Structure 1
């Protein structure tokens, strides 16, 4: 789209971003792509700098308003991808065994450290126990541990602060009487911040493990009895980055999907972000779009160049026998 770009990595993950930019700059012309690894004070300077016309931010809902305020004086265009806490709804006609592995990867890809991961799962009474059983069997079979061991498919959390968030939310769920199907007791002997894959059932919708985005390997499974109840619970939070509906009936799933207040809604899958398809959240999950043609349009400024004066328009309309509207008639 003709832009130059300044990338500011998260303070938690500078090395991978610096490496990626180095690879990209082996092909790009000099000066097109720059990277600044820094703290929040430099990030804030980027958001209010008059030479920057567009900010694209991925991060917390708490940081979003600060960026909006900081960019307001220079009227910057914004694309904000903020907190998610994505909901999944399993309909009563779903086949628990058929969907269990896809639900697992929707929730636990990258050990749950993905904005558009499945963070809370609503399951109908008719299939609740079977879904819990099948999902537990899949999760138990997935090796987890040191990310440098290629036998592991899940690795550690990225930092101690996030490890503590997940551990505290799971402990609060256990204290409330929720039922732990798997995990919940991380092995202190594991290197790094490995928190064991955790499934929590029979949990209330207002429990912190459900209401707050855990961003880690702990999935709450909430029981419901009617579709209206499931949709109401899924929509109860002030975020809506993505969602999913799981069913053997595509039409029934689509009807439910249309009622969910979120960005993309996947059917029988979750988090399949495709660069050809626009992606963006609803409510306090942000605004603006990434990806696809619509996402590209958000990286440009439309301009219409009109070469016709009013007299030319009047003559053209008269030539085809069309009466001029009042605003084109001579005074």
Structure 2
């Protein structure tokens, strides 16, 4: 495990240096610790401190939040296909933000709050579908999540249609995922939500570990299953909402990264959750850097890069799983 965390530290350092160095304007990293003297040097320092460093902080925190929420969902549901995007939470958060922009277009905490309420409504819809079907199999949970995701996506399309062309175009580009408008304030909001969620997970770590085995086992050792599931649901909704509010819809991070981390550190919850958070942050940081380098004088939406890279990783995991079963 020590080698794993050493590798994580090296990868994170390399990813941060790459993100600082590459962009539309080449800059020198020496202005991170030296005082610029000329106007050109002051511009480089401003780019580093006001644009690239907040972008790094936001991308890492958002990637960590998405991967952590995916790993938590997969662990407590014992379903390795559980993911905030696939289960409609991202679409629900998008609907909440679109409604907020349509009815009460304010910034600040109202944006993540609207996203949280939308994600929570999506989660309640999934749970209602499961309750109506009177089955709690993995397949039923997956089908309910996909159905709610499609329903909310259609509602989001309707809300975009009702917006003005300018507002609809702005929301549509934002939904494709981007950290181009990163600020220290946005990075602080996501990081604060991530830290509070991590503290709650640490508080309920034993209960979550028991629940990841089975509900029957958790009840047999005295775990209040309903309470722990509710806390977990609120954590997942909060992490998803704050990420969607500031970075838009980013797919597959919560699905693929926990799968990859299971191969690296195993399925034990105490190792899986922190590993997923770190690897998810590094993944999104590298994806953001790639989005700035693929096209000349243009930036790809972050969701496009993550979907492509995530799909490739997921296919490789499927091929590896098929070979293991064949062997």
TM-score category, normalised to shorter length: under 0.3
Which structure shows the higher helix fraction?
Answer: 2
Which structure shows the higher strand fraction?
Answer: 1
Taking CA–CA contacts closer than 8 Å with sequence separation of 6 or more, which of the two structures ends up with the larger relative contact order? 2
